[in-house]
Chains A and B, each alone.
Chain A
């Protein structure tokens, strides 16, 4: 198991999320149940995943956000679809937190979720 994934899982579990791992075309994914927090889809339950390089987290954040059911955020940017080994369709969106991550005082999945993931489906 890579250092990044191990660390992300630990952080997510410390926040109360149950995580699973699988392989995707965009690398190893850590996924967890997530309730969309803002925008017109607020309150919808989805499975969200982030995929990682082997090392470097938390200084280097993931840029792939995976979601099933495949809910697009309707924004510009790279989007790829694939199926996991259970036949579930996922949407992988390249959504780098480049505008904020390097300036955050604390680089942790708590801030990744509250500062970055929160805004992805926010269409308001």
Chain B
């Protein structure tokens, strides 16, 4: 199990402003405060989602170079946490830079003074330190065999409207050795950015024409940890758009094809690729998605998009979604229009429902099997039928737009203008930025940073039955062959 912390922009700003207020006035004075956190539990990672800071009231803390809190402050914070059924986090500032280690006094305060009473919330204490440069470090205090154990976080993620900052713990997640093969990449955005990008856990959901180009980009820029999810196999009609696929690949799983090519073309020294040939609403896939730091949504199904809307908003894992829309003039069988777009989805960006990628009725139609029923789809009104026209260069356009949107979100300075969504019109050659917001009654706004409390109601377990039936088919086949041979003998 690994550990992370993710902040909403508001909680991060409030805490940073409070904790660094004295350093900004050139006074060597540390400070402290409490915050609330909710768990986001993946397959191999637990993340504390912080969306609320409890600032000290008058006389609730003492400042004396270091800082200490009064019992009343701790008691108030625990009461709020218990009432809201969330965990307690304790934050303090250090004048140093980068990921901060802990002094023995810090350890005593968190392990011996705070961790036990914080257990009254039912969740472990999360301790955080902010350096004078605004760099966060964090740890969980979990009770093991009657003693409090410290588990250092791998990173602290700061999810914002215009930027996504990640503060890595180099001791837990070591930056890769510089490789000459990547020298042009290092030349482009520098060692620090490359170290951050290479350590991201990237999820790619959907390995069709867009997803496989995104996967190729991740392999080339030196990403080292990737999760690929897609239940589909390569079919003949995919070959005009699926990067590297040829006739020999028909029938193979798309995730296996993508994995093979990523391993072949990876520029990092090692690459860890997890593949799941299931839908993203399979509970195992969903748990793996919650281990990711950023996700590419290369799907066209409403249920998958709904799942990723939950992940982006409730679990603070940014999702980059995109798609192509092609209209053909049916009379003349000619291209009438084409445009493609990409958008970031977080609590600070328009959700996938509000930006019209799907609606809840689409989800119910997919869940009851209607959208997989050919006669049902054939009889849908033309405005509800989803077209599947596309060509390789259009998919390249979307994939490039999605990857560049991710890079911009990670690398661009905060003062650049906001870019939530981008769109390109093929026939006019125009590209535009769209910065629309969610509708007033959006169901996802209240889900912000709620973590495990908010989960799609329709998660399934696809791995159990197919595995069983696969074994049944194999064993039945073996028995039949054995019977035939026995009869011949």
Contact = CB atoms under 8 A, between A and B. Distances in A.
Contacts, number: 74
A98 B362 contact: yes
Interface string A75-102: 1111100000000000000101111011
Nearest to A106: B441
A61 B443 CA distance: 13
Contact of B353 (A26, A56, A102): A102
Nearest to A79: B379
Contact of B359 (A54, A76, A101, A105): A101
B457 interface: yes
Contact of A56 (B354, B382, B457): B457
A104 B440 CA distance: 9
B439 A103 contact: yes
A27 interface: yes
B376 interface: yes
Given A63-B370, A101-B359, A105-B440, A96 B457 contact: no
A61 B370 CA distance: 15
Contacts of B382: 76
B449 to A, nearest CB: 19
A4 to B, nearest CB: 9
A103 B338 CA distance: 28
Nearest to A99: B359
A32 interface: no
B381 A77 contact: yes
Interface string B270-308: 000000000000000000000000000000000000000
Contacts of B365: 63, 94, 96
A13 interface: no
B363 interface: yes
Contacts of A101: 359-361
A97 B365 CA distance: 11
A121 interface: no
A60 B366 CA distance: 12
A105 B360 contact: no
B458 A56 contact: yes
B367 interface: yes
For A55, A75, A96, the residue with the greatest tally of chain B CB atoms inside 10 Å of its CB is A96
A62 B368 CA distance: 10
B441 A98 contact: no
A59 interface: yes
B476 interface: no
Contacts of A53: 364, 367-368, 458
A54 B457 CA distance: 9
Contacts of A102: 353-354, 359-360, 439, 441-443
A105 B441 CA distance: 6
B181 interface: no
A119 to B, nearest CB: 15
B380 interface: yes
A54 to B, nearest CB: 8
A98 B457 contact: no
Contact of B364 (A62, A79, A104): A62
A56 B354 CA distance: 18
B380 A78 contact: yes
Contacts of B353: 102
A97 B359 CA distance: 9
A99 B383 CA distance: 11
Given A77-B380, A94-B376, A27 B441 contact: no
Contacts of A75: 381
B458 A76 contact: no
Interface of A: 26-27, 53-56, 59-63, 75-79, 94, 96-99, 101-105
Q: Which 5 A-B pairs have CB atoms at the shortest separation, nearest pair first?
A: A96-B361, A98-B361, A76-B381, A55-B457, A98-B359
19 contacts: A53-B458, A56-B457, A60-B361, A61-B360, A61-B364, A63-B361, A63-B370, A77-B379, A94-B365, A94-B370, A94-B376, A96-B364, A96-B365, A96-B384, A98-B360, A101-B361, A102-B354, A102-B439, A102-B443
